[in-house]
Amino acid sequence: MLSGKNILLGVTGGIAAYKTTFLVRLFIKAGATVKVIMTESASSFVSPLTLATLSKNPVLHDFARHEENTTDWNNHVDLALWADIMVLAPATANTLSKMANGTCDNLLLATYLSAKCKVFFAPAMDLDMYRHPSTRSSFKRLQSFGNVMIPVASGELASGLHGEGRMAEPEEIVDFIVNYLSQGLPLSGIKILVTAGPTYEAIDPVRYIGNHASGQMGYELAKRASALGGEVVLISGPTSIVLEHAAFKIEKVVSAQQMYEAVHRYYIDMDIVICAAAVADYRPKSVASNKIKKKESAISIELVKTLDILMSLGEQKTKQYLVGFALETENELENAKGKLKKKNLDAIILNSLNDEGAGFGKATNKITFIDKNLKIKAFELKAKADVAKDIFDEILKKYHA
């Protein structure tokens, strides 16, 4: 939900400002770009240098840009337009009152009044200030403007009192924003399992049997499901793909057996399952404990079938909407339809290696979507991210039908 988002963090002068160091780190870890505006008093509680270092952007606190030989200024309108989300944390009673009444006496307030994005505020104050009618009035008025209040926590306060008024912990703030942004999305509250990549079946400690699958299609499906609000688990075979800010859980496996076990650990709780991994059909019957030396002109390796993950899921299916992939080289439609029926799938995605630009290791793919009623929809060659969108468009039509 936060990956790729521009977050403008407003920090005001409360003791909870020290927690914003952790908050900035969490936003960055989630894949967001963060800029910080501080009020003058906030710098008494947390160092602007610390927040600038963590956010990798200069911390702003005044309209004038205090740089040598410059007459430039910090444009509050540009800042407001840049932001996808604005978060005020901690939000003191003083700043909240100014926001509620349109007071504009610093850069943060001017930026807030110019903001067109969703604004979240996390109050932080002592118990009696929190309970005061004027503060309650600020809360109510700000929410009537469309701003979103992040609930306070109850506990020990800076004054020594115990009760409501503590700013929510950084992890709670991030979770609250993510959950809020997920509401109303097509897959909000839906649990999705995606498999991706190849499996490697060991011959000896050095060698293995594998295939050319890159994992990109499965990763794009997981990213699309997450962007639609889904709770996603991605089970990935060995790939070179690195996601710096994954918005979903990734479990790495190597062999078909490991993927089988991982999938079945999650399967019972899932709503939608997409098996995009290119799982090996066979594995060596025995694995040499030491590297096989090159002595003979030829060697024989006895292969045995691996467990059929998709078949086992179809047999155990209850509520799950189960989607498989079929990579074919001949009799494509007939083979895909047969797999759809045999494995008790709700839909199957057909790839043909005869289509230029489709198949393993390509940035593009060309698919045909076949549902359990044998309704067929073919798509043109597209980038795999766009293919993932097409697949979920079709799944959503069927899943919510």
The predicted-structure confidence for 316-375, as pLDDT tens digits, reads as follows 999 999 999 998 888 999 999 999 999 999 999 998 877 777 777 788 999 999 999 999
Task: Note down the domain range covering 341.
Answer: 191-399
Q: Please check whether residue 321 lies inside any domain of the structure.
A: yes
pLDDT tens-digit series, residues 53-106: 999 999 998 876 666 566 667 788 889 999 999 999 999 999 999 999 999 999
Asked if residue 148 and residue 84 are part of one domain, the reply reads yes
Query: Residues 201-226, buried b or exposed e (16+ Cβ, 10 A)?
Result: bebbeebbbbbebbbbbbbbbbbbbb
Q: Which residues have CB under 8 Å from 302's CB, separation 6+?
A: 284, 285, 286
Q: Please check whether residue 111 lies inside any domain of the structure.
A: yes
Number of folded domains in the chain? 2
Helix (H) or strand (E) holding 131: helix 127-131
Instruction: Provide the annotated active-site residues.
Output: 211
Q: Please check whether residue 1 lies inside any domain of the structure.
A: no
- Of 131, 162, 182, the residue at which a domain comes to its end is 182
Measured between alpha carbons, how far apart are the two ends of the chain, in Å?
26
Partner residues linked to 236 by β-bridges = 196, 252
**Which domain CATH number covers 268?**
3.40.50.10300
Residues 46-51, mean pLDDT to the nearest whole number? 95
**Which domain CATH number covers 24?**
3.40.50.1950
pTM of the entire structure? 0.75
Contact 19, 87 (CB under 8 A): no
pLDDT tens-digit series, residues 218-251: 999 999 999 898 999 999 999 999 876 667 889 9
Per-residue pLDDT at 158 exceeds 80:
no
